[in-house]
A = this chain, B = another copy of it.
Amino acid sequence: MQRAVLLWQCPDQPGIIARLSGLLFEHTGNILSSDQYTSDPEKGRFFIRIEFVFDEDRYTREHLETALADAAQELEAEWGLHYAGRVLRLAIAVSRYDHCLVDLLYRVRSGEMRVDVPLVVSNHESARQLVESHGIPFHYVPVTAESRAAQEARLLTLLRDASDFLVLARYMQVLTDGFLRSYGKDVINIHHSFLPSFKGADPYRQAYDRGVKIIGATAHFATTDLDEGPIIEQVVGPVSHKDSVDDLRQKGRELERTALANAIRAYIEHRVIRYRNKTIILG
């Protein structure tokens, strides 16, 4: 039995679940879990995640995909079918702060996060030893104001075919609109504040100056609007007047790595649907 996840969104209308569940049933599918949501104010957009098993000996993947494609065309759906066993390839970009990188590599190696890491890129050399000790290729791609275009071209060459998605694990360089379009796959960023508070540079300094009592971290899809992409996960923790800016940075590192790991886990379990500037996280 093959296990798979169907992620599907389309304009709402009666009978979609009957249609999809009937289609799966006809192809030997048994639904293990399904979570469905119809947005209200946004004029009826239908979202569903269905996890199911089916018997590949009786119907091939092609049979199933063809049937789904037909339904999708009719219902004007965007969809993806993700087979268990196919492990996503996660490329990581990092700058000097390596706490998220260390955390991700540990989760991958310990088997907790089922993902392949084909390469790590950085504009600093500092993480090379750590990355290579995990048997993962490390690419140093420095960047200056003048070299940005060349650097992004190099990144594209490295990443485009080798990865299914890219995580900016405290990568402190802005990626251009051109890069995001050319890469064409999802890019997840960790921002070190509770967005939309403290956009931009040095958010812990901003949080310190404002005297907040709680700080946070936000994992979101990177878009050309810096710090404005759809939010996937936010994590917060308490702080006090005793905390210096450096204390906030240290406490924040915990939040960052947790938020980023949660977001990646949801993503690779195919629980995240993007719609406009938001995410739907399905159970």
Contacts and interface: CB of A to CB of B under 8 A. Distances in A.
A259 B161 CA distance: 41
Contacts of A198: 196
A213 B231 contact: yes
A21 to B, nearest CB: 4
**What DSSP secondary structure best describes chain A's contact surface?**
mixed
A68 to B, nearest CB: 15
A24 B106 CA distance: 47
When all copies of this chain in the complex are counted, the total is 4
23 contacts: A17-B17, A17-B21, A17-B31, A18-B18, A18-B25, A32-B38, A33-B37, A35-B36, A35-B283, A98-B110, A99-B110, A102-B110, A112-B250, A112-B253, A196-B197, A196-B198, A211-B231, A211-B277, A213-B233, A213-B234, A214-B234, A214-B236, A241-B281
Interface of A: 12-18, 21-22, 24-25, 28-41, 98-99, 102, 106, 110, 112, 133, 194-198, 210-214, 216, 230-234, 236, 240-242, 244-245, 250, 253-254, 258, 277-281, 283
